[in-house]
Amino acid sequence: MSTHRIGLVVPSSNVTVETEMPAILRGHASADFSFHSTRMRMHTVSPEGLAEMNAQRDRCVMEIADASPEVILYACLVAIMVGGPGAHQRVESAVADQLATGGSEARIRSSAGALAEGLRALNAKCVALVMPYMKPLAKQVVEYLEAEGFEVADWRALEVADNNEVGCIPGERVMEAARSLDLTGLDALVISCCVQMPSLSLVQPAEDEFGLPVVSAATAGAYSILRGLGLPVAIDGAGSLLRTDA
């Protein structure tokens, strides 16, 4: 069984993506994965904090490229979406150019682009969102997805600004927010628009409870990584998106 090396560019205070991504991809039947991270300093999820974090991108990309990953995931969804419509395409293009200049053949993905990619794979047009952000940032996420062509029918912002605290949000609080949404006519529910807010254990139970596809930033990131590697997307227990090749 082949082993694929995955690079993760994460906020310094993020502890969730490095646990959820391996947990998801461990379920793949025909490949193994190793994970290697580089960190951008960030504690407060605010426009200022995100701008300071994004300024560290070039350094982090070249550091992780030294590990020769096959795919790199820029794992902070809101940090890209605050850049306005189409920002994930601009960022991924800029990072790809940087990698090529440095002699790396790694493919680049972003959590923001992966979420849009995953929702399109599900043919989802009307969605609802649960997010940890303060409302002004949450509204920018809504606007970003609407610019991508999705209808955001309803959303909830849990208004947690400290990124360390985001990583400790209880699953029941996330589910309570999801249960408060109007799910009528939805094509999909995004139960966590953030790779730091823990949600992997909620995805399949939420699908079973609500009767519609449920995705998270983490499951969308895993989907995009598998697509980038040309591997089958067939993992049990992590929602409909990761069974699209089954």
In tens, the pLDDT along 31-80 reads: 999 999 998 887 777 778 778 878 888 888 889 999 999 999 998 888 88
CA angle 196, 201, 207 (to 5 degrees): 110
Burial of 246 (0-12, 13-18, 19+ CB in 10 A): exposed
Given a cut of 80, whether residue 1 has pLDDT beyond it is no
Mean pLDDT within 183-191? 95
Q: Give the whole-angstrom CA distance, residue 105 versus residue 149.
A: 31
115-164 confidence digits (pLDDT tens)? 999 999 999 999 999 999 999 999 999 999 999 999 999 999 999 988 88
Q: For 193-217, what is the mean pLDDT?
A: 94
Where b means 16+ CB within 10 Å and e means fewer, 171-194 reads: beebbebbeebeeeebbbbbbbbb
Starting at the earlier edge strand, list the strands of the sheet with 71-74.
31-40, 2-11, 71-74, 107-110
Q: How many whole angstroms separate alpha carbon 164 and alpha carbon 15?
A: 8
Q: Does 196 carry a binding-site annotation? A: yes
Q: Is 77 assigned to a binding site?
A: yes
The count of other CB atoms within 10 Å of the CB of residue 59 is 11
CATH domain 2-111+219-240 topology: Rossmann fold (3.40.50)
> Residue 10: in which H helix or E strand, if any?
strand 2-11
Residue 41: Cβ within 10 Å count: 12
Mind telling me the catalytic residues?
A: 76, 194
- Residue of 184, 173, 86 whose CA lies nearest to 130: 173
CA-to-CA separations, 151 to 176, 185, 188, in angstroms, rounded:
22, 11, 11
- The per-residue pLDDT for 246 is 44
Band of residue 244 on the pLDDT scale cut at 50, 70, 90: low
Architecture of domain 114-217: 3-Layer(aba) Sandwich (3.40)
Q: Residue 195, annotated ligand binder?
A: yes
In this prediction the pTM is: 0.92
66, amino acid identity: D
Specify the residue for token string 């953030």. 194
Q: In the chain, where are the structural domains located?
A: 2-111+219-240, 114-217
Q: Is 133 annotated as a binding residue?
A: yes
Query: Per-residue pLDDT tens for 76-116?
Result: 888 889 889 998 999 899 889 888 888 888 899 999 999 99
CB proximity list for 7: less than 8 A, separation 6 or greater: 36, 37, 38, 64, 65, 67, 69, 71, 72, 73, 106
Say if 2-111+219-240 and 114-217 have the same CATH topology: yes
